[in-house]
Amino acid sequence: MAPTPVRPVRERILAAAGEAFYREGIRAVSADKIIAAAGTTKVTFYRYFPTKDNLVEAYLDQQSERIREAAGNLPDDPCRALAALAQAMGDETCRPGFRGCPFINAAAEYPEAEHPVRIAVARHRDWFRALVAELAGRLGAQNPGLVADQLIMLRDGAMVHGYVSDPALVGDSLLQAGGAVLQQHIPTNRPA
């Protein structure tokens, strides 16, 4: 049996941080705890991440990249793509250990809009808004940015609801509420 390959140190640090940040909250997790969980030293840790904020940014960027990769597999049809996003949100809320959206959680812990962590959150949310607006525009929405804002507000609420209430309701409820938003903004006589 071949030995399990050892992950590079930076990946181990990010993995340990990501698990702890999501499970316990970013500010509640010390660098020392991450160093111990990653099986590294302070010198090595700070070589890769000069500050904890650098690590938090890298964690958020990694989460964003994971979501962007998944979005690359959305159906070509914009209606089916939006439905797939809603279903993915519902599935996410039902996974064990779900604690809400990592970006919303990070924004709550870093209230200063100009903080690098908040900028990382904004970078992801700007990308996601552009994706949703593009899909809404392809459906014929006259104001795709407004539609994206409304759908993302529903998504944000769904993430919170999935954490504090019954996560099994999120997928279908988000799909129905999103459909109602789209009905308000998409002409009924749109070309096929």
Do residues 120 and 183 lie in contact, with contact meaning Cβ atoms separated by under 8 Å? no
Q: Which residue in the block uniquely carries the two structure tokens 């809404």?
A: 136
**pLDDT tens-place string over residues 101-118:** 999 999 999 999 999 999
Average pLDDT over residues 122-135: 98
Structure pTM? 0.90
- C-alpha 121/C-alpha 106 separation (Å) is 7
- C-alpha 192/C-alpha 186 separation (Å) is 13
Do residues 126 and 148 lie in contact, with contact meaning Cβ atoms separated by under 8 Å? no
Q: Is the pLDDT of residue 40 over 50?
A: yes
Bigger pLDDT: 67 vs 167 = 67
Do residues 113 and 52 lie in contact, with contact meaning Cβ atoms separated by under 8 Å? no
The percentage of residues in the chain with a pLDDT greater than 90, rounded to a whole number, is: 82
Average pLDDT over residues 32-51: 96
pLDDT value at residue 121: 98
- C-alpha 33/C-alpha 26 separation (Å) is 12
pLDDT value at residue 170: 87
Q: Is the pLDDT of residue 5 over 80?
A: no
**pLDDT tens-place string over residues 60-102:** 999 999 999 999 999 999 999 999 999 998 888 888 899 999 9
Residue 159: band (very low, low, confident or very high) from pLDDT cuts 50, 70, 90: very high
Which of helix, strand or coil describes residue 111?
A: coil
Q: Is the pLDDT of residue 192 over 80?
A: no
Residues 6+ positions from 81 with CB-CB distance below 8 Å: 74, 75, 135
